[in-house]
Structure 1
Amino acid sequence: MTRSPSLKRPLIVYPLVFHFLTLLASFSILIAVALRIDSGGPYTDERIIPIIADAVARDAAGGLSIVMTPELADLRTEATDLWFVAEDDGGASVVFGTVPENYASLLGRLSDLSYAQLRDRVAPYDLAAVIRRENTDIGALTILGHGALSELGFMVVFATNTIILPIFVLLTLTSLVVTPWIVRRSLAGVSRIAREAEEIDANSRGRRLSEAYVPQEIAPLVRAVNDALRRLDDGYERQQRFIASASHELRTPIAVLASKVDAADSKTVRALALDVQRIATMTEQLLDLHRLENNRHDVAIDLAEVGRRVVGDLAPLVIANGGSISLEVVDNEPCIGDVAALERVLVNLVQNAIDHGGTNVVVRVLGAALEVEDDGPGIPPTERERVFEPFHRLRPRATGSGLGLNLVQEVMDQHGGRVEILDAPSGGTVFRVDLGAV
């Protein structure tokens, strides 16, 4: 079976891919613009500032001194023209290397500055320097220094570090978190109506899917489904009215016909009595189906009492046909259901045993289950599902309406129970209906 396409996946993946490509394009454009704007020379790599700050210490007199740390030694090896000035807020300062005369006016006033990139457009770029305020263990220091130079344009690095990269990371994380959340929240109404639809069956006619929580784009589909449910309900009601009307209309003429046939002396006419009885039984069973679907009343049921009533009512019929019927109560458990419907189930199973089984019928109560056993020829395994179909008969000329076992199946479906066919020890058939205990 072809797998249904996902709606959430494109709603999440496509926007994320689009956002990523858009950000990447914006990143590239900004770098290109920065490269075009940036016409200055190399700039001083700001990574020298933390190295310098770690190398500045205080002496016993409270002044500043320089400690040759391994990092500072490596930096000096890399940048042989390294120089810097470190100054605290109190005016104390320390100098390393040869500071160009151009910066002499800044000495003693560095603490008034916080950040600057000073660039030199003429080789060897010995005037390129960086000013940055740094918090250290000995207090805040303002450092002016020259060391390792970077050939990459300053505007590119500045734009990347301060604008592009933070925005790129923020938007990417936001898209990864917010987009799936928005999609799931937007489609929550769809999941809700899906759960509502799963609860709709033949016993919940009149129910409709809620349109209050679905997106506007899905609402037309929900309305179309509700219209379809409404049409199905209307068709079902028309069918039920027809069955009820037809059954009631047939009952009276059938009763009149049956009385006339019973009063007749002719063998031919009396032979028609079986056909009349079959029509009468079919009419009653159609009415039973109608009553089951429209007038169900669930109460606590004593299956042993149900068995006693049915066996008592049908015993004369079984004996008149030369058979026997008995009741065995092995165990009795309370259960919930419609008494009239369950009595009809037991009546139909006993009548089925009389019509198609042998001469001896046993009704057995097993907790919340009922069994009807006969000593007839049995039912082949290949036919055990089909016997519950309407008007299906194992033998074409068999008596009965063909609706009895179908009614049994319908009642058990209505009660959430099950019906199964087993082999009897005598070779006959055992019909077991199980309601489940309360």
Structure 2
Amino acid sequence: MKEATGRSLKWQLIRRLLILQSLMLLLVLGIMFVKGDLFAFRSTDRTIEALQHAIRRDAAGQLQLRDTPELTSLRAAEPGLWFIIRDIKGLQISEGPVPAIFARISETLSGIGQARFGSTVDGAAMDRPEARMRTVYTPVGEMLVMTGTESSAPPSIVALGLLLVLVKIGLPIIIVIALGILLATPLVVRGAVAGIAKAEKQAALIDIGRRGVRLETIGTPPEIASLIRAVNEALRRLDDGYERHQRFLADAAHELRTPIAILGTRVAALPHMPERVQLVADVARLTTLTEQLLDIERLRRDNVEFRPVSLLALGRRVVSDMAPLAFPAGYELDLIHAGPDIALQGDEAALERAMTSLIQNAIDHGGGRGTISIHISSGLVEVSDEGPGIPPGERERIFEPFYRLRPRPRGTGLGLHLVRQIVDLHGGRVTAGASRAGGARLTMDLSSGALPDLAAKAV
């Protein structure tokens, strides 16, 4: 299964919110621009600029207007064009239907830089004419220009105005919006997925030894809660299926126990012949398999009583029991103990079976030579051999039920799985590694249940 490579939810929200907010801002600015709230498509200032470029004097010093392209276009586009041009000496030129009130006012505005007339919020005066006055500088001197005629802006000026609106208004607002989104979105996302983080921690606790764990939906968004409920339902189905599977194995072991015992009795009654030896070995293998299945079922139901157990005393007993099997197979057994006699709370029978399975595994896979070392210290039990060892990629799989590293006529494939079940029951962990001689090293870490003060009372 490919690992998810999707982008972060936080950055997806930031990008989408920023794009949406920017588009909304541009839409609002566009509407305001078209309506003329941000840009004057018609303005008296452009009329004044066209007149400014056309002003000149004749030989007698009188004011005149040159027929510039701008002025010619203005006269053609605005039939009602009117204006008054006056210099600082009082010389004046005018054109068009100048309102009488502005004709009189222009004579009194010397020294005024600019002014606007007629604009008012008084409803009764809204029908009065309006005018714009500005003092401009021309090659023939300082002029006072007054007009009430508005002229349209050329496309180049409209484009420039739009660019200025975007740069001076749109861009600063977008920057502020982006900063707000960058600061607020992580906080919002963190608060929204707080429940998901809790569910993630709960999911990390789920494994084959901790069934029944469910993910909480408290504090999660409804959209995520539905997914968590679906996951919980899937976990329930898996638990039910595992329970049925385990019950079937236990029932099968119980049902097979009696027929196998009867078969063993009948094989033992056979006369001595080569086939009888093989049959006895096969019956013993079947007996071991059923006993291991029943042990797994017993451990799964947690019907065990924990009592103080001395690992050293237990190790000595197991080594003594396994020596008759190890010596004929070509091995020496070496029990090494370091530190005080550590006692722990546990099921003595289960721990004895686990230690026995580790030594039996070393006998079966240690290469038929060398020393099998059993090292006991501080709640740890290490069993090492001098065989071919376990490849790194297989060191976790050997604890799976019925898994075999190499095909063998003997064994059931349940021994190390049973060891893991027993160690899990005691709150410890079992790992596989390499010994100093290059063989296999299997370690049971039971230190979590160590009781140093009970060492003297342990069995």
Q: TM-score under structure 2 normalisation?
A: 0.59
Aligned residue type for 1:310: V
The one of 253, 267, 270 aligned to 1:261: 267
Which amino acid letter does the alignment assign opposite residue 200 of structure 1?
I
Q: Distance in 2 between matches of 1:350 and 1:18?
A: 68
Alpha carbons 2:10, 2:185 under 8 Å: kept: no
Query: Matched residues in 1 for 2:311 and 2:300: separation?
Result: 22
Compute the displacement of 1:38 (Å). 8.0
Match status 1:17 vs 2:25:
no
Question: SS where residue 210 of structure 2 aligns?
Answer: coil
Shift, 1:186, TM fit: 2.3
Deviation at 1:312, TM superposition (A): 4.1
Cα 1:392–1:171, aligned 2, differ >3 Å: closer, same or farther?
A: closer
Distance 2:390 2:262 in 1: 41
> Residue by residue, what CA displacement relative to the aligned partner does 1:8-47 show, whole Å, maximum 9, x if unpaired?
32222111121123223323433442234985659xxxxx
Equivalent residue pairs, number: 338
- Measured in 2, the distance between the counterparts of 1:286 and 1:431 equals 25
State how 1:155-174 maps to structure 2 within 5 Å: 173-174=179-180
CA-CA distance at 1:251 after TM superposition: 1.6
Deviations 1:233-284 (A, max 9, x none): 0100001101111111122222232233334434344542111111001111
2:120 aligns with none
Deviation at 1:286, TM superposition (A): 1.6
- The answer to whether the 8 A contact 2:336-2:376 is kept is yes
Q: Determine if contact 1:318/1:325 at 8 Å carries over to the other structure.
A: yes
Q: What residue is the counterpart of 1:88 in the other structure?
A: none
Match in the other structure for 1:435:
445
Provide the residue aligned with 1:307 in structure 2.
315
Overall identity of the aligned pairs, in %: 36
* Structure 1 CA distance for aligned equivalents of residues 419 and 171 of structure 2: 73
Kindly tell me: are residues 196 and 335 of structure 1, through their superposed partners in 2, closer, same or farther at Cα, counting changes over 3 Å? farther
The Cα of 1:127 is off from its aligned counterpart by: 11
Q: TM-score when scaled to structure 1?
A: 0.61
Q: Secondary structure at the match of 2:335?
A: strand
Q: Is the 8 A contact 1:371 1:430 kept in 2?
A: no
Corresponding position of 1:212: 218
Check if 1:221 corresponds to 2:227: yes
359 and 99 in structure 1: CA distance in 2 versus 1, 3 angstrom threshold: closer
1:416 correspondence with 2:429 = yes
Name the CA shift for 1:164/1:324 in 2 (closer, same or farther; >3 Å): closer
Instruction: Tell me, in whole angstroms, the C-alpha distance in 2 between the residues paired with 1:297 and 1:269.
Output: 40
Query: Partners of 2:363 and 2:31 in 1: how far apart?
Result: 91
Residue 214 of structure 1, CA deviation: 2.0
Aligned partner letter, 1:26: V
3-state DSSP of counterpart to 1:213: coil
CA contact (8 A) 1:335 1:437 kept: no
User: Once the two structures are superposed, what CA deviation does each residue of 1:147-201 show, in whole Å capped at 9, x if it has no partner?
Assistant: xxxx99xxx9xx99xx999977765554443344323322333333223222222
Q: Which amino acid letter does the alignment assign opposite residue 330 of structure 1?
A: A
Q: Which residue matches 1:328?
A: 336
Distance 1:2 1:178 in 2: 29
The match for 1:402 is 413
Q: C-alpha separation between the residues in 1 aligned to 2:447 and 2:389?
A: 30
In structure 2, distance between residues paired with 1:409 and 1:393:
17
2:376 paired with 1:365: yes
Q: Deviations over 1:398-436 (max 9, x none)?
A: x33232234335545662232334265xx9x55431416
Secondary structure class of the residue paired with 1:217? helix
Q: 1:124 aligned to 114, 135, 140, which one? A: 135
Q: Secondary structure at the match of 2:219?
A: coil
What's the secondary structure of 2:374's corresponding residue? strand
Matched position secondary structure for 2:336: strand
**3-state SS of the aligned residue for 1:235?**
helix
Residue 392 in 1 paired to residue 404 in 2?
Answer: yes
Q: Offset of 1:224 from its aligned partner?
A: 1.7
CA contact (8 A) 1:251 1:280 kept: yes
How much has 1:221 moved relative to structure 2?
1.8
Q: Does the aligned pair in 2 maintain the 1:333–1:368 contact within 8 Å?
A: no
Deviation at 1:4, TM superposition (A): 2.2
Q: Kindly report which structure 2 residues correspond to 1:140-219, keeping only aligned pairs within 5 A, or say none.
A: 173-219=179-225
Of 253, 278, 284 in structure 2, the residue corresponding to residue 277 of structure 1 is 284
Q: Does 1:347 align with 2:348?
A: no
CA drift at 1:215: 1.7
CA distance in 2, matches of 1:2, 1:431: 33
User: Is residue 250 of structure 1 aligned with residue 248 of structure 2?
Assistant: no
User: For 1:36 and 1:373, how far apart are their aligned partners in 2?
Assistant: 92
- Change in Cα spacing, 1:127 to 1:287, as seen in structure 2 (3 Å) is farther
Distance 1:194 1:324, change over 3 A: closer
Pairwise CA RMSD: 4.5
Unaligned runs of 5+ in 2: 47-87, 89-109, 116-129, 137-143, 147-156, 449-459
After superposition, what is the alpha-carbon deviation per residue over 1:105-129, rounded to whole angstroms, capped at 9, x for unaligned? xxxxxxxxxxxxxx9613438799x
